[in-house]
A = this chain, B = another copy of it.
Amino acid sequence: MQKNVTVAVDAMGGDNAPAEIVKGAVEAINEHKDLKVILVGDESVINRELASYSYNKDQMEVIHASEVITNNEHPVAAVRSKKDSSIVVAQRLVREGKADGFVSAGSTGAVLVGGQFIVGRIKGVERAPLAPLIPTTKGFSLLIDCGANVDARASHLVQFAKMGSIYMENILGRKNPTVAIVNVGAEEEKGNQLVKETMPLLKACDDINFIGSIEAREIPNGGADVIVCEAFTGNVILKLYEGVAMALLKKVKQGLMSTFRSKIGALLAKSALKKTLKEFDISRYGGAPMLGLNGLVVKSHGSSDATAIKTSIAQCITFARQDIPGKIREHIKDPKADEVEGKAHKKES
């Protein structure tokens, strides 16, 4: 029999909390019999929501948290001062081993800060990246890092590449995923200081399928499965993806509505068009995992509905089943051990 998995869910975070969060949690336990969900937040509010559903009571627990961290608060200050907030209380459950994973549609900043300082990093992991899936014409790729680690160093990017590969292979089933680093050109000599430093380190990794540089133009074409970059670049990519798509769809709509003839055309094409474009919707791919922690932290989109929450919870189940933290530990060795090994290699060659 498979091991039971417990996921702590922030019932108070996101635009549609608590109704959609609670609904998503109920749907998750109804689908997965060996899952337990702990809903964290205002007990009376959560229980009121739960009252309208039927589900196995043994699979659901409610833990009270009296505070909520909002998007407008400074993340570090909020995590420090609001000890009884749903985010802090739920992440403490992961830290204490009472939950395998944590899902929140609330403040990204607070989730990231809590992930680093409450859940805590796996030994040897220098930085914990946020790694959302982005849509491509071939399906999707993992963009790592879009998190809080601006001004990352080369050694961080190497760890991102390894953790991203492990996630893509084990959670998303992409065999031997290709890994590329975001660069301003494909040529060897191109790049900023960070990319030039990182490139030989990535080439030297024999546990990833590194294919070299990727220009931003090739990302939407699915040019690589795992797209490695530091968080400033990652944030620009993620947000520009959304921005360009929204602006272009606005233009498509304008075009379709501009003449009588085109309006009739639009009426006929609408449902087919909607279906295809949904595949390219960045909010569709559930939550962004924060990797390298002692447990899985999933940041679900602020506008998450019940289905998105259910998907994020399912990610935690696979994560625990596949023992991703264990696999990361195997590949991310203690940096000092790496150094010693590096020297040994040099002597041999």
Contacts and interface: CB of A to CB of B under 8 A. Distances in A.
Interface of A: 74, 136-137, 150-151, 182, 184, 189, 191-193, 195, 215-221, 231-233, 235-252, 254-256, 258-259, 261-262, 264-277, 279-280
A328 B200 CA distance: 41
Which of A241, A244, A264 counts the most chain B CB atoms within 10 A?
A244
Contacts of A184: 150, 231-232, 235-236
Given A150-B192, A269-B265, A240 B219 contact: yes
Contacts of A137: 247, 250-251
A261 B252 contact: no
A268 B262 contact: yes
Contacts of A245: 244, 248
Main secondary structure of the interface of A (DSSP, over half): helix
Contacts of A256: 269, 272-273
Nearest to A234: B184
Contacts of A221: 243, 246-247
Nearest to A230: B192
B244 A272 contact: no
A77 to B, nearest CB: 10
Contacts of A254: 276
Which of A182, A246, A267, A273 counts the most chain B CB atoms within 10 A?
A273
15 contacts: A150-B192, A182-B236, A191-B232, A216-B238, A232-B233, A236-B236, A240-B240, A244-B245, A251-B277, A255-B274, A258-B276, A261-B272, A264-B265, A265-B267, A265-B269
